[in-house]
Amino acid sequence: MQVIQHPVEKLQNALVSSRRDLVECFQKYSHNERRLMEEGLHPDSPLFGPITIHSDSDWISSHPETPQDFQSFYSDPYRSTPIKSRNTIYIQTIGSFGESEGLTVQYVQWLCEYCQAFYLGLTVKLLDPVSVSDTHCAFRINSNTHNLQIHAGDLLNFLKKKKPKDAFCIVGITMIDLYPKDSWNFVFGQASLTEGMGVFSFARYDDNFYSTGYKGRLQKGKRLRQGDYTVFTGYYTPPISSTLLLRSCKTLTHEIGHIFGIKHCQWLQCVMQGSNHLEESDRRPPELCPICLRKLQSVLGFKIADRYKALLQWMEQGLASEQHTASSPSGNMVRPMQAFEDHRRWLQRCLSVLEGEIF
């Protein structure tokens, strides 16, 4: 395992920048906000650790990119910024997300509320769910894994037509696997940053996806007819688990981060780190490192403590729902929260720094 330990000065420059106006801007953060962000500069910080590389198949080893510091993000003329008339993130579900319609609605609502806290200041809205047939997309059976896949580009074309006028972006999510073109095996997602849209699949976040017993495999020799979408009726979807929810929240916020113009993080452990495989995405934390946090804060203008409080509140509501049984009086499903426990404690520690407690 290789640890990418950047020198303190390099991280300091990536966070604060050398441009005078940006340094002055940094000084305008409250004392405790600066204390929290500068915490990431210390090599032995208990809050922000260095990136580790575990194999040649990890993202950084296989995709050399120029690291994006705060200054290069801030001065990028091509990145898109929400404006007052276009400040809503729309989420469009495609196909089913669970065995019952109620569960689909509930699951996507959790994701939507999580994004609302993560991107504090923007509005996140759900569009009415659509079935796979509504999108008129092409589909196929993957010849290796024998599961159903839908054409990501066709979904993007569909989303383009659906994008409301006040959208900062529109994001399609599905539990069905995606492929970008016939010669490719699969893709986790595809986006058009200039058009402010993306589509992402959570199918491969199923713990059993790569096992021979995966229930989404179709019988060998099964033939499909393009345009006949009945094969999607009752098609397998991953069980809603705490791990699936955590993975979905991380993917969604990572991908929307790209639409803001935030590139893959190479500074510290961060939800914006690139990922090539499931083990690597599981390794990245759900939160932003201080450098990416400053990028987002500069766009949305939130108080850092308010955003952490909103995320904590989302978690605490989930924990409260766990106290009820699956058929709670409100009719809501229990939100599975176990996988978020480390993150909840992390947010509390960050908040204690922001509230001036000695850390």
Q: What is the dihedral of CA 131, 132, 134, 139, to 10 degrees?
A: -170
State yes or no: residue 178 binds Zn ion (CB under 5 A).
Answer: no
d(CA 201, CA 218): 18
Q: What are phi and psi of 355, to 5 degrees?
A: -95, 10
In the three-class reduction of DSSP (H, G, I as helix; E, B as strand; rest coil), residue 91 is classed as strand
Binding residue for Zn ion, selected from 51, 167, 173, 270, defined by CB under 5 A: 270
d(CA 359, CA 355): 10
**Type of residue found at 323:** Q
d(CA 89, CA 119): 9
Give whichever of 47 and 292 is closer to Zn ion, judged by the CB atom: 292
Question: In terms of C-beta density within 10 A (0-12 exposed, 13-18 middle, 19 or more buried), how is residue 149 classed?
Answer: buried
Q: How far is the CB of 236 from Zn ion (least distance, A)?
A: 27
Binding residue for Zn ion, selected from 272, 296, 315, 353, defined by CB under 5 A: 272
Give whichever of 36 and 141 is closer to Zn ion, judged by the CB atom: 36
Give whichever of 167 and 296 is closer to Zn ion, judged by the CB atom: 296
Q: How far is the CB of 251 from Zn ion (least distance, A)?
A: 9
State yes or no: residue 15 binds Zn ion (CB under 5 A).
Answer: no
Q: Which two tokens stand for residue 71?
A: 């200054």
State yes or no: residue 37 binds Zn ion (CB under 5 A).
Answer: no
Q: Which two tokens stand for residue 121?
A: 């200041």
Q: Which residue has the tokens 């910080």?
A: 45
Q: How far is the CB of 40 from Zn ion (least distance, A)?
A: 9
Q: Per CB under 5 A, which region of 40-48, 124-132, 259-267, 344-352 contacts Zn ion?
A: 259-267
State yes or no: residue 171 binds Zn ion (CB under 5 A).
Answer: no
Q: How far is the CB of 292 from Zn ion (least distance, A)?
A: 3
Catalytic residues: 255
Binding residue for Zn ion, selected from 292, 296, 304, 351, defined by CB under 5 A: 292
What one-character DSSP code corresponds to residue 177?
Answer: E
State yes or no: residue 265 binds Zn ion (CB under 5 A).
Answer: yes
Q: Which residues bind Zn ion (CB under 5 A)?
A: 265, 270, 272, 289, 292
